[in-house]
Amino acid sequence: MYLTSEKKKEVFAEFGGAATNTGGAESQIALFTTRINHLTEHLKANHKDYSTQRALLKLVGARRRQLDYLKEKDIERYRSILKALNIRK
């Protein structure tokens, strides 16, 4: 499995402030980005895997909604997470 619980804890600790902060917008966006990057690499090798393609599009939409929420609430946190995760916008 590509995303173990240790890897999730590392992502949450880095972007959420603590390994137990799994509900914060930044930590969720970081987790979505990790999963999106993995699925993108998978689809480069398996371009006819349409179920994975659909899952990728759903993840991108979920991340977009989280980013929109963060942009409305706190623009500085939004800009810092875009820069930290190297997300184009």
* CATH number of the domain bearing residue 15: 1.10.287.10
State the total domains in the chain: 1
Instruction: Report how far Cα 33 is from the mean position of its chain's Cα atoms.
Output: 3
Tens of pLDDT along 4-63?
989 989 988 988 888 888 888 999 999 999 999 999 999 999 999 999 999 999 999 999
CA atoms within 13 A on the CB side of 32: 23
Contact, 56 vs 62, CB < 8 A?
Answer: no
Q: Which domain holds residue 52?
A: 5-85
* pTM (2 d.p.): 0.91
